Amino acid sequence: MESTGEYWHPVYHVLEGHFTVLLVNAAHVKNVPGRKTDKADARWLAKLLRHGLLQASLIPPRGQRDVRDLTRYRTKLVQERAREVNRVQGVLERANIKLASVVSDVMGVSSRAILAALVDGRADPATMAELARGRLRSKLPLLEQALSGLVRDHHQQLLAMQLAHIDFLDDQIATLNTTIAERLSALIPPETVTVPVAADESAGGRAPHVDAAAPLTCDQAILLLDTIPGVDRRGAEMLVAELGTDMSRFGTAARLAAWAGVAPGNDESAGKRRSGKTRKGNRALRTGLVQLAHSATHTKGTYLATLFRRLAARRGKQRAMVVFQTWI
């Protein structure tokens, strides 16, 4: 069957396990213009199937699809939390509170104590400045000056709701972190995948030591991905949820990069190359790779960061970032 968006899910879930269902890209099996009806489309798909001209889209197993939903939802909640923090900063600016000019993190321990005092009505600058901890106490005069604002009941009400929403999002994200880790540990690895020979930390390598003859589990894949500069555990969980552990389904690394939408496209006619714009791919995977690539470019003393700076000087930062994502 051909479909776009989310409309294929109900039919696919009903037929899964009873038939071999091929989900094909509608743009790849488009019929001749002027013959567009549902019956004509069905006959055209049947004809292509008989001749072996249908290329099925990648549909992961049900367990991986469930984990993918969880990781994508976690990404949305993290983005929503960042937007809510920006809203808190906006309320503080409108109240003439310049807290962000002194502290590096508006949601840090000292900042949350100050915001709690602000919501409770203890808006005296000296009293709030005394709530600072650690190295921030060396900036008490500057902090007291930054907290001298015009706070009204309106601002206190907005801050109370926004901080409660941030606490709720933190709880949801923590729950998702636990659930994702449990679901990934429960996934059964494919029998065809084996672990490559990895370096042991006792021998000076960063990669964990695993049995080369055992199937690659999701936990082992996360540990291996976590050794890449710029990739943390959350990023490794996203990669495993989107890609799985069986790389044989993609054939080559170049095909995997194209499937993810981070490889340059081809548009050539009459010997002229018109565009190298990247194609549409896995949107969630591509977004995650961009974030991981940005993190890797800020690492110190790594080959990936050096490679990015060398490419950026010659090709520009935007093009270098596309090339850089394929290396990760």
State residue 156's pLDDT score: 93
pLDDT for residue 192 is more than 60: no
pLDDT for residue 31 is more than 70: yes
Q: How does the average pLDDT of the chain come out, rounded?
A: 85
Same domain assignment for residues 175 and 207: no
State residue 188's pLDDT score: 77
State residue 233's pLDDT score: 92
What residues does 16 pair with on adjacent strands?
19
Q: Between 243 and 281, whose confidence is greater?
A: 243
Contact criterion met (CB below 8 Å) for 134 and 182 = no
Q: Work out how many domains the chain is built from and give that number.
A: 3
- Whether residue 123 lies inside any domain: the answer is yes
Same domain assignment for residues 233 and 308: yes
Please spell the DSSP secondary structure of 207-276, one letter per residue. Answer: SPP--TTSB--HHHHHHHHTTSTT--HHHHHHHHHHH-S-GGGT-SHHHHHHHHT-SPP-EEETTEEEE-
State residue 195's pLDDT score: 44
State residue 112's pLDDT score: 93
State residue 164's pLDDT score: 96
Q: Which of 175-184, 209-218, 227-236, 274-283 has the lowest mean pLDDT?
A: 209-218
pLDDT digits (tens, 9 = 90+) for 6-21: 888 888 889 988 988 8
pLDDT for residue 232 is more than 50: yes
Percentage, residues of the chain above pLDDT 70: 90
Distance CA 303, CA 308 (A): 9
pLDDT for residue 213 is more than 80: no
State residue 214's pLDDT score: 63
Which structural domain range is residue 218 located in? 201-327
pLDDT for residue 159 is more than 60: yes
- Whether residue 67 lies inside any domain: the answer is yes
Contact criterion met (CB below 8 Å) for 283 and 291 = no
- Whether residue 85 lies inside any domain: the answer is yes
Distance CA 141, CA 146 (A): 9
Same domain assignment for residues 80 and 134: yes
Distance CA 158, CA 165 (A): 11
State residue 202's pLDDT score: 43
State residue 216's pLDDT score: 80
Same domain assignment for residues 209 and 109: no
Contact criterion met (CB below 8 Å) for 41 and 31 = yes
State residue 196's pLDDT score: 47
Same domain assignment for residues 39 and 113: no
Q: H-type helices in 9-152, by residue range?
A: 9-15, 38-50, 62-94, 109-119, 125-129, 140-146
pTM score, whole prediction: 0.82
Looking at 130, 152, 186, the residue that finishes a domain is 186
State residue 318's pLDDT score: 79
- 3-class DSSP state of 320: helix
pLDDT for residue 200 is more than 50: no
pLDDT for residue 33 is more than 90: no
Q: What is the DSSP letter of 199?
A: -
Task: Indicate the pLDDT class of residue 155, thresholds 50, 70 and 90.
Answer: very high
Closest C-alpha to 109, from 83, 136, 84, 86: 136
Same domain assignment for residues 234 and 288: yes
Distance CA 246, CA 250 (A): 9
Looking at 143, 162, 186, the residue that finishes a domain is 186
- Whether residue 286 lies inside any domain: the answer is yes
- Whether residue 78 lies inside any domain: the answer is yes
Would you report the helix, strand and coil content of the chain in percent, each value rounded to 5?
A: 60, 5, 40
Percentage, residues of the chain above pLDDT 90: 34
pLDDT for residue 227 is more than 80: yes
Distance CA 117, CA 316 (A): 47
Mean pLDDT score, 289-310: 87
Same domain assignment for residues 39 and 110: no
- Whether residue 240 lies inside any domain: the answer is yes
